[in-house]
Amino acid sequence: MIQLKNIKKNYTSRKGVVTRALNDLSVSFPSRGLVFILGKSGSGKSTLMNILGGLDTADSGEFIIEGKNIEGLSQVELDHYRNAHVGFVFQDFNIIETFSIYENIGLALQLQGQKASKTRIDEILDFVGLKDFGKRKGNEISGGQKQRIAVARALIKKPRIILADEPTGNLDSKTSDQIMQLLKEVSKTNLVVIVSHDPEEAELYADRIIKIKDGKLAEDTGKDPVEFDHQPFSFVHQHLGFWASFKYGIHSISRKKGQLLITTFVIAIAMLFAYLLGSYLGFVDQPNPALLNTLSPAELAFMSQDLQGYLPSASAFQLNIAMYVILVAVTYVFLSMSVTQRKKQIGIFKALGGNTKDILRIFIWEGVVIALFSWVLATYLGYAYVLDINIKFFNALPVLEFNWLQAGMNFVLIFSVSISFIILTVMGILKNNSVISILKK
């Protein structure tokens, strides 16, 4: 079903050191059966899995599926190949801890544009022996159970290929056996490729064992004829639906209320200062005559002295700019912090078949909510307190008004700033890190 011919893959570190991960590797895989890949640490096993799963591309060589050469496929098409046909199982499970089991498994379906059907999820949970676990959270189950959930998540979309990178590496022997039996069962109808460093485990379960050494094929117990099962692979575009992305976006925030609160609060405070200064400076520039008339001569005298003494017009303008720069910087620090913290989640979305667009949709919803909350809070604080703060802080200046025009402008500012930061950070993470290196952290 799958053929790799003369695959080469090098990694170049930032300092320019080149590591040969795969060196002229040729191997082919059947449509079904359990294939073990054995090899020492660093021999290139994970690199091979990533290429097989469309998470990474080879530097040269051919990658042929059902007779179709994948080499020419764009990253977008590779995303769809992974989305529709590949299920991943990782050594450290990569279950989203704050999501329920239903959500974790349902996500794999939704990333394919399908409904997260409860009946289907219950069926697959039954298959992996975890009936009635759907409502538990990812962090409320044991390691072995997590791995079974990961298998269920890989299976739910009925992929033709299951790729498991050291799936039992973090499990005790009894649980390992259970996972292996599960994967063995699946391999009756699908291709299951398992990376392992345990030869005994391989002997016990494998239909075929491939050994890799220094990025080259060292041994292959199976002579696998290249066979095609004539079910053409489709590379159809499927996306996370609008409501599903909204739900997951809102969801991740609601599970991190503390962080939302701090982020919102800090942005709101920064915005509030911008309001305050804005309304104050607005008055320095153009005192409202109607309000000016309400001032007593003493207040007026105090003010003109105060304004002239403390805020000459030129520095007032610079101060206003500085205030906005601070606002933008604070927003950036907090938003990129929260996106970076969820780097792993981004990797999981991608490995499950999401592409950059799907992931951006989820995070943009988060940005929308944070921007909205901060703005409402700042506006409320402004509306309720700006006048009061002005009076106390600037020693009786009842002339300063809350300015809705400025509030509107601030909304546009905070909104566009937060959304652009989120887009930039997510794109940066996906561009500069392979999914596997994200997931390893």
When binding is defined by CB under 5 A, the residue of 46, 145, 338, 390 that contacts Mg ion is 46
Backbone angle region of 350, left / alpha / beta, with phi > 0 → left and psi within -120 to 50 → alpha: alpha
Alpha-carbon Rg for the chain, nearest whole angstrom, is 29
Q: Least distance (Å) from ligand ADP to the CB of residue 340?
A: 18
Least distance from Mg ion to the Cβ atom of residue 214, Å: 14
Nearest in space to 281 (alpha carbons), one of 324, 318, 316: 316
Tell me if 411 sits within 8 A of 363, measured CB to CB: no
Total Cβ atoms within 10 A of residue 59: 12
Three-state SS for 102?
helix
CB of 243 to ligand ADP, least distance (A): 35
168 is a site residue for Mg ion (CB under 5 A): no
If one asks whether residue 39 binds ligand ADP (CB under 6 A), the answer comes out as yes
Cα 163 from Cα 173, distance rounded (Å): 20
Among 25, 27, 33, 47, binds ligand ADP (CB under 6 A): 47
Site membership for ligand ADP, residue 193 (CB under 6 A): no
Among 79, 75, 54, 56, smallest CA distance to 65 is for: 54
CB of 43 to Mg ion, least distance (A): 9
As a whole number of angstroms, the distance between CA 377 and CA 11 comes to 48
Q: Which amino acid is at 12?
A: T
Return the one option of ligand ADP, Mg ion, none that residue 42 interacts with (CB less than 5 to 8 A, by type).
ligand ADP
Distance CA 99, CA 114 (A): 18
Per CB under 5 A, which region of 8-16, 46-54, 197-205, 349-357 contacts Mg ion?
Answer: 46-54
CA dist., res. 320 & res. 403, Å (int):
15
By C-beta, is 210 or 276 nearer to ligand ADP? 210
Q: How far is the CB of 42 from Mg ion (least distance, A)?
A: 8
| Sites for ligand ADP among residues 421-440 (CB under 6 A) | 434, 437
Minimal distance in Å, beta carbon 45 to ligand ADP?
3
Residue 41 is a binding residue for ligand ADP (CB under 6 A): yes
Rule CB under 6 A: choose which of 32, 45, 208, 342 binds ligand ADP.
45
Give every CB contact of residue 349 below 8 A, 6+ residues apart in sequence.
107, 111, 358, 359, 362
Contacting ligand ADP (CB under 6 A), which of 27, 36, 38, 46?
46
Return residues touching ligand ADP (CB under 6 A): 11, 13, 19, 21, 39, 41-47, 434, 437
Return residues touching Mg ion (CB under 5 A): 46
